[in-house]
Protein backbone atom coordinates (compact mmCIF):
# COMPACT_ATOMS: atom_id res chain seq x y z
CA UNK A 1 0.00 0.00 0.00
CA UNK A 2 1.47 3.37 -1.00
CA UNK A 3 1.46 6.49 1.19
CA UNK A 4 -1.32 7.95 -0.95
CA UNK A 5 -3.49 4.88 -0.56
CA UNK A 6 -2.94 4.92 3.20
CA UNK A 7 -3.86 8.60 3.41
CA UNK A 8 -6.97 8.19 1.30
CA UNK A 9 -8.09 5.18 3.34
CA UNK A 10 -7.55 7.14 6.55
CA UNK A 11 -9.50 10.11 5.21
CA UNK A 12 -12.39 7.85 4.22
CA UNK A 13 -12.47 6.21 7.64
CA UNK A 14 -12.53 9.66 9.23
CA UNK A 15 -15.62 10.40 7.15
CA UNK A 16 -17.36 7.49 8.84
CA UNK A 17 -16.92 9.24 12.18
CA UNK A 18 -18.24 12.55 10.86
CA UNK A 19 -21.66 11.18 10.01
CA UNK A 20 -24.46 13.21 11.62
CA UNK A 21 -26.21 11.79 14.66
CA UNK A 22 -29.46 11.60 12.71
CA UNK A 23 -27.87 9.31 10.12
CA UNK A 24 -26.31 7.13 12.81
CA UNK A 25 -29.68 6.86 14.50
CA UNK A 26 -31.31 5.76 11.24
CA UNK A 27 -28.57 3.22 10.58
CA UNK A 28 -29.02 1.77 14.06
CA UNK A 29 -32.76 1.54 13.40
CA UNK A 30 -32.15 -0.18 10.06
CA UNK A 31 -29.85 -2.68 11.77
CA UNK A 32 -32.41 -3.38 14.48
CA UNK A 33 -35.14 -3.93 11.87
CA UNK A 34 -32.93 -6.29 9.89
CA UNK A 35 -32.08 -8.31 12.99
CA UNK A 36 -35.68 -8.55 14.19
CA UNK A 37 -37.24 -9.38 10.82
CA UNK A 38 -38.89 -12.82 10.64
CA UNK A 39 -36.81 -15.50 8.93
CA UNK A 40 -38.18 -16.69 5.58
CA UNK A 41 -39.51 -20.23 5.54
CA UNK A 42 -37.33 -23.04 4.23
CA UNK A 43 -39.76 -23.57 1.34
CA UNK A 44 -39.51 -19.98 0.14
CA UNK A 45 -35.73 -20.08 0.44
CA UNK A 46 -35.61 -23.19 -1.73
CA UNK A 47 -38.07 -21.83 -4.28
CA UNK A 48 -35.91 -18.88 -5.39
CA UNK A 49 -32.89 -20.92 -6.51
CA UNK A 50 -35.18 -23.58 -7.94
CA UNK A 51 -37.01 -20.99 -10.04
CA UNK A 52 -33.69 -19.48 -11.14
CA UNK A 53 -32.42 -22.88 -12.23
CA UNK A 54 -35.70 -23.53 -14.08
CA UNK A 55 -35.50 -20.24 -15.99
CA UNK A 56 -31.87 -20.88 -16.90
CA UNK A 57 -32.63 -24.44 -18.01
CA UNK A 58 -35.52 -23.15 -20.15
CA UNK A 59 -33.31 -20.53 -21.77
CA UNK A 60 -30.60 -23.11 -22.49
CA UNK A 61 -33.20 -25.51 -23.82
CA UNK A 62 -34.51 -22.91 -26.26
CA UNK A 63 -30.97 -22.09 -27.37
CA UNK A 64 -30.13 -25.75 -27.93
CA UNK A 65 -33.40 -26.78 -29.60
CA UNK A 66 -33.69 -23.77 -31.89
CA UNK A 67 -30.17 -22.81 -32.92
CA UNK A 68 -31.31 -21.93 -36.46
CA UNK A 69 -33.52 -19.17 -35.16
CA UNK A 70 -30.53 -17.11 -34.16
CA UNK A 71 -28.74 -15.52 -37.05
CA UNK A 72 -25.42 -13.77 -36.70
CA UNK A 73 -27.08 -10.41 -36.34
CA UNK A 74 -29.16 -11.53 -33.40
CA UNK A 75 -26.14 -13.00 -31.63
CA UNK A 76 -24.20 -9.82 -32.18
CA UNK A 77 -27.14 -7.80 -30.93
CA UNK A 78 -27.46 -9.84 -27.78
CA UNK A 79 -23.75 -9.56 -27.03
CA UNK A 80 -23.91 -5.81 -27.34
CA UNK A 81 -27.20 -5.74 -25.45
CA UNK A 82 -28.75 -2.68 -23.92
CA UNK A 83 -28.16 -3.88 -20.41
CA UNK A 84 -24.75 -5.48 -19.89
CA UNK A 85 -25.25 -5.28 -16.10
CA UNK A 86 -27.89 -7.99 -16.39
CA UNK A 87 -25.35 -10.37 -17.87
CA UNK A 88 -22.69 -9.28 -15.42
CA UNK A 89 -25.00 -10.06 -12.50
CA UNK A 90 -26.15 -13.39 -13.89
CA UNK A 91 -23.13 -15.21 -12.50
CA UNK A 92 -23.88 -13.76 -9.05
CA UNK A 93 -27.44 -15.03 -9.02
CA UNK A 94 -26.26 -18.42 -10.23
CA UNK A 95 -23.62 -18.41 -7.52
CA UNK A 96 -26.26 -17.56 -4.91
CA UNK A 97 -28.51 -20.32 -6.20
CA UNK A 98 -25.67 -22.86 -6.15
CA UNK A 99 -24.66 -21.78 -2.66
CA UNK A 100 -28.19 -22.15 -1.37
CA UNK A 101 -28.66 -25.52 -3.02
CA UNK A 102 -25.36 -26.66 -1.51
CA UNK A 103 -26.52 -25.61 1.94
CA UNK A 104 -29.84 -27.30 1.72
CA UNK A 105 -28.49 -30.55 0.49
CA UNK B 1 1.00 12.97 -3.15
CA UNK B 2 3.56 10.37 -4.09
CA UNK B 3 3.93 9.40 -7.68
CA UNK B 4 4.45 5.68 -7.31
CA UNK B 5 2.47 3.24 -9.40
CA UNK B 6 -0.91 2.35 -7.98
CA UNK B 7 -0.47 -1.24 -6.90
CA UNK B 8 -3.24 -3.07 -5.16
CA UNK B 9 -3.72 -2.18 -1.54
CA UNK B 10 -2.38 -4.64 0.99
CA UNK B 11 -5.21 -6.67 2.51
CA UNK B 12 -6.09 -5.52 5.98
CA UNK B 13 -6.27 -7.98 8.80
CA UNK B 14 -9.83 -7.63 9.97
CA UNK B 15 -11.02 -9.58 12.95
CA UNK B 16 -14.62 -10.42 12.22
CA UNK B 17 -17.15 -10.26 15.04
CA UNK B 18 -18.60 -13.71 15.58
CA UNK B 19 -22.18 -12.43 15.85
CA UNK B 20 -24.13 -10.94 12.96
CA UNK B 21 -25.25 -7.90 14.98
CA UNK B 22 -21.65 -7.03 15.79
CA UNK B 23 -20.65 -7.49 12.17
CA UNK B 24 -23.41 -5.18 10.92
CA UNK B 25 -22.27 -2.56 13.41
CA UNK B 26 -18.78 -2.65 11.85
CA UNK B 27 -19.95 -2.23 8.25
CA UNK B 28 -23.08 -0.09 8.38
CA UNK B 29 -21.41 3.34 8.28
CA UNK B 30 -19.02 2.38 5.51
CA UNK B 31 -21.75 0.65 3.54
CA UNK B 32 -23.95 3.72 3.85
CA UNK B 33 -21.20 6.08 2.68
CA UNK B 34 -20.35 3.81 -0.24
CA UNK B 35 -24.01 3.70 -1.27
CA UNK B 36 -24.30 7.48 -0.89
CA UNK B 37 -21.23 8.03 -3.06
CA UNK B 38 -22.58 5.63 -5.67
CA UNK B 39 -26.14 6.98 -5.68
CA UNK B 40 -25.72 10.61 -4.59
CA UNK B 41 -28.90 10.34 -2.53
CA UNK B 42 -29.04 9.91 1.23
CA UNK B 43 -32.48 8.31 1.53
CA UNK B 44 -31.76 5.83 -1.27
CA UNK B 45 -28.44 4.97 0.39
CA UNK B 46 -30.20 4.26 3.69
CA UNK B 47 -32.76 2.06 1.94
CA UNK B 48 -30.02 0.15 0.17
CA UNK B 49 -28.06 -0.45 3.36
CA UNK B 50 -31.15 -1.54 5.27
CA UNK B 51 -32.13 -3.97 2.54
CA UNK B 52 -28.57 -5.30 2.34
CA UNK B 53 -28.52 -5.94 6.10
CA UNK B 54 -31.91 -7.61 5.93
CA UNK B 55 -30.90 -9.93 3.09
CA UNK B 56 -27.63 -10.82 4.79
CA UNK B 57 -29.38 -11.65 8.06
CA UNK B 58 -32.19 -13.61 6.43
CA UNK B 59 -30.09 -15.50 3.93
CA UNK B 60 -26.59 -15.82 5.28
CA UNK B 61 -26.44 -15.31 9.04
CA UNK B 62 -25.72 -19.03 9.43
CA UNK B 63 -22.68 -18.83 7.16
CA UNK B 64 -19.18 -18.65 8.66
CA UNK B 65 -18.42 -15.06 9.79
CA UNK B 66 -15.47 -14.72 7.39
CA UNK B 67 -17.96 -14.98 4.48
CA UNK B 68 -20.16 -12.12 5.69
CA UNK B 69 -17.99 -9.22 4.54
CA UNK B 70 -17.68 -10.12 0.82
CA UNK B 71 -21.33 -11.20 0.83
CA UNK B 72 -22.41 -7.91 2.38
CA UNK B 73 -20.62 -5.89 -0.29
CA UNK B 74 -21.85 -8.15 -3.06
CA UNK B 75 -25.44 -7.67 -1.96
CA UNK B 76 -24.82 -3.93 -1.50
CA UNK B 77 -23.47 -3.64 -5.05
CA UNK B 78 -26.48 -5.47 -6.45
CA UNK B 79 -28.91 -3.28 -4.53
CA UNK B 80 -27.12 -0.17 -5.82
CA UNK B 81 -27.43 -1.54 -9.35
CA UNK B 82 -31.15 -2.16 -8.74
CA UNK B 83 -31.66 1.46 -7.66
CA UNK B 84 -29.81 2.71 -10.73
CA UNK B 85 -32.01 0.58 -12.98
CA UNK B 86 -35.12 1.83 -11.23
CA UNK B 87 -33.94 5.41 -11.77
CA UNK B 88 -33.45 4.77 -15.47
CA UNK B 89 -37.00 3.51 -15.70
CA UNK B 90 -38.28 6.44 -13.64
CA UNK B 91 -36.40 8.88 -15.84
CA UNK B 92 -38.17 7.42 -18.88
CA UNK B 93 -41.47 8.38 -17.28
CA UNK B 94 -40.23 11.76 -16.12
CA UNK B 95 -40.30 11.03 -12.40
CA UNK B 96 -38.22 13.68 -10.68
CA UNK B 97 -36.38 13.04 -7.42
CA UNK B 98 -34.52 15.46 -5.20
CA UNK B 99 -30.77 14.73 -4.87
CA UNK B 100 -30.97 15.37 -1.13
CA UNK B 101 -32.89 13.63 1.63
CA UNK B 102 -36.59 14.11 1.27
CA UNK B 103 -37.52 13.95 4.92
CA UNK B 104 -36.03 17.24 6.01
CA UNK B 105 -38.70 17.66 8.66
CA UNK B 106 -37.71 14.47 10.50
CA UNK B 107 -37.13 15.31 14.21
CA UNK B 108 -34.20 12.89 14.21
CA UNK B 109 -32.35 15.49 12.14
CA UNK B 110 -32.39 17.75 15.19
CA UNK B 111 -30.21 15.35 17.21
CA UNK B 112 -26.85 16.85 18.27
CA UNK B 113 -23.94 16.04 15.97
CA UNK B 114 -21.25 13.92 17.73
CA UNK B 115 -18.48 15.66 15.73
CA UNK B 116 -19.89 19.09 16.43
CA UNK B 117 -17.63 19.82 19.37
CA UNK B 118 -14.46 20.28 17.35
CA UNK B 119 -15.05 22.95 14.67
CA UNK B 120 -11.42 23.16 13.52
CA UNK B 121 -11.29 19.44 12.89
CA UNK B 122 -14.61 19.64 11.13
CA UNK B 123 -13.48 22.40 8.78
CA UNK B 124 -10.12 20.86 7.91
CA UNK B 125 -11.37 17.31 7.74
CA UNK B 126 -14.58 18.09 5.91
CA UNK B 127 -12.84 20.08 3.19
CA UNK B 128 -10.54 17.19 2.32
CA UNK B 129 -13.22 14.62 2.94
CA UNK B 130 -15.72 16.40 0.72
CA UNK B 131 -13.14 16.71 -2.04
CA UNK B 132 -12.40 13.02 -1.77
CA UNK B 133 -16.08 12.05 -1.75
CA UNK B 134 -16.71 14.29 -4.75
CA UNK B 135 -13.76 12.81 -6.65
CA UNK B 136 -14.97 9.31 -5.81
CA UNK B 137 -18.49 10.10 -6.98
CA UNK B 138 -17.11 11.25 -10.34
CA UNK B 139 -15.30 7.96 -11.01
CA UNK B 140 -16.87 5.42 -13.38
CA UNK B 141 -18.93 2.85 -11.50
CA UNK B 142 -16.50 -0.07 -11.69
CA UNK B 143 -13.48 2.06 -10.72
CA UNK B 144 -15.49 3.43 -7.83
CA UNK B 145 -16.32 -0.07 -6.61
CA UNK B 146 -12.77 -1.36 -6.99
CA UNK B 147 -11.33 1.58 -5.08
CA UNK B 148 -13.90 1.51 -2.28
CA UNK B 149 -13.62 -2.23 -1.71
CA UNK B 150 -9.83 -2.47 -2.00
CA UNK B 151 -8.55 0.73 -0.45
CA UNK B 152 -11.39 1.75 1.88
CA UNK B 153 -12.72 -1.61 3.01
CA UNK B 154 -9.38 -3.38 2.61
CA UNK B 155 -10.79 -6.47 0.91
CA UNK B 156 -8.32 -8.79 -0.81
CA UNK B 157 -8.26 -8.90 -4.60
CA UNK B 158 -10.08 -12.24 -4.52
CA UNK B 159 -12.83 -10.98 -2.22
CA UNK B 160 -13.13 -7.77 -4.24
CA UNK B 161 -13.47 -9.79 -7.44
CA UNK B 162 -16.18 -11.89 -5.78
CA UNK B 163 -18.01 -8.79 -4.55
CA UNK B 164 -17.77 -7.09 -7.96
CA UNK B 165 -18.58 -10.21 -9.95
CA UNK B 166 -15.50 -9.99 -12.14
CA UNK B 167 -11.99 -11.41 -12.48
CA UNK B 168 -9.04 -10.48 -10.28
CA UNK B 169 -7.37 -8.98 -13.35
CA UNK B 170 -10.33 -6.67 -13.87
CA UNK B 171 -10.17 -5.59 -10.24
CA UNK B 172 -6.50 -4.67 -10.64
CA UNK B 173 -7.20 -2.72 -13.82
CA UNK B 174 -10.14 -0.80 -12.36
CA UNK B 175 -8.19 -0.11 -9.18
CA UNK B 176 -5.15 1.18 -11.06
CA UNK B 177 -7.30 3.52 -13.14
CA UNK B 178 -9.19 4.72 -10.08
CA UNK B 179 -5.97 5.58 -8.25
CA UNK B 180 -4.63 7.38 -11.30
CA UNK B 181 -7.81 9.44 -11.63
CA UNK B 182 -7.95 10.23 -7.92
CA UNK B 183 -4.33 11.39 -7.89
CA UNK B 184 -5.13 13.86 -10.65
CA UNK B 185 -8.37 15.07 -9.10
CA UNK B 186 -6.99 15.42 -5.58
CA UNK B 187 -3.50 16.77 -6.11
CA UNK B 188 -4.49 20.11 -4.55
CA UNK B 189 -5.57 18.35 -1.37
CA UNK B 190 -2.92 15.61 -1.24
CA UNK B 191 0.13 17.23 -2.93
Which pLDDT tens digit goes with each residue over B101-136? 444 555 555 555 544 445 565 566 667 888 899 999
A23 and A63 belong to one structural domain: no
What is the number of alpha carbons within 13 Å of residue B176 lying toward its C-beta? 9
Could you tell me the pLDDT band of residue B2, with boundaries at 50, 70 and 90? very low
A24 interaction partners in chain B (CB closer than 8 Å): 29, 114
Q: B161: closest CA among B185, B176, B145?
A: B145
Q: B34: closest CA among B147, B186, B188?
A: B147
Asked if B132 lies within 8 A of A14 by C-beta distance, the reply is no
What is the rounded distance in angstroms from the CA atom of residue B73 to the CA atom of residue B159? 9
A18 interaction partners in chain B (CB closer than 8 Å): 115, 122, 125-126, 129
A79 and A65 belong to one structural domain: yes
pTM: 0.68
Q: Give the model's pLDDT for residue B115.
A: 47
Reduce the DSSP state of residue B95 to 3 states and report it. Answer: coil
Domain containing A76: what range? 42-103
A47 and A83 belong to one structural domain: yes
A59 and A97 belong to one structural domain: yes
Q: A104 to chain B, minimum CA–CA distance in Å?
A: 12
Count of structural domains within chain A: 2
Q: A71-75, B28-32, B65-69, B187-191: which has the minimum mean pLDDT? A: A71-75
Query: From the list B9, B42, B74, which residue is nearest A92 (CB)?
Result: B74
A14 and A63 belong to one structural domain: no
In CATH terms, the superfamily for domain B20-97+124-185 is PhyR, sigma-like (SL) domain (1.20.140.160)
B37, B84 in Cβ contact below 8 A? no
Hey, CA dihedral for A94, B162, B25, B134, is it positive or negative?
A: negative
Cα of first residue to Cα of last residue in chain B, in angstroms, is 4
Could you tell me the pLDDT band of residue A61, with boundaries at 50, 70 and 90? confident
What is the rounded distance in angstroms from the CA atom of residue B131 to the CA atom of residue A101? 45
A28 and A75 belong to one structural domain: no
| pLDDT value at B147 more than 90 | yes
Q: Give the model's pLDDT for residue A37.
A: 85
What is the rounded distance in angstroms from the CA atom of residue A68 to the CA atom of residue A64? 9
Asked if A16 lies within 8 A of B166 by C-beta distance, the reply is no
CA dihedral B18, B24, B27, B29 (to 10 degrees): -150
Q: How many CB pairs under 8 A join A and B?
A: 129
CA B163 → CA A78, B15, B168, distances in Å?
Answer: 25, 19, 11
Domain ranges of chain B: 20-97+124-185
Amino acid sequence: MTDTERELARALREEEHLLPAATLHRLAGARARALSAPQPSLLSRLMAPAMGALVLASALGVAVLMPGQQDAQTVQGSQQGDNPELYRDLDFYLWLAESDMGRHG
Amino acid sequence: MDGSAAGPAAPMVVEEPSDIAGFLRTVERRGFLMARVALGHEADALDVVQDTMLRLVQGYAARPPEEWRPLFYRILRNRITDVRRRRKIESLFGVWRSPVAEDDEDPIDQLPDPAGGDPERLVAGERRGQALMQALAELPERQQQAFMLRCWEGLSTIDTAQAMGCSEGSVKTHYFRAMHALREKLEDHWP
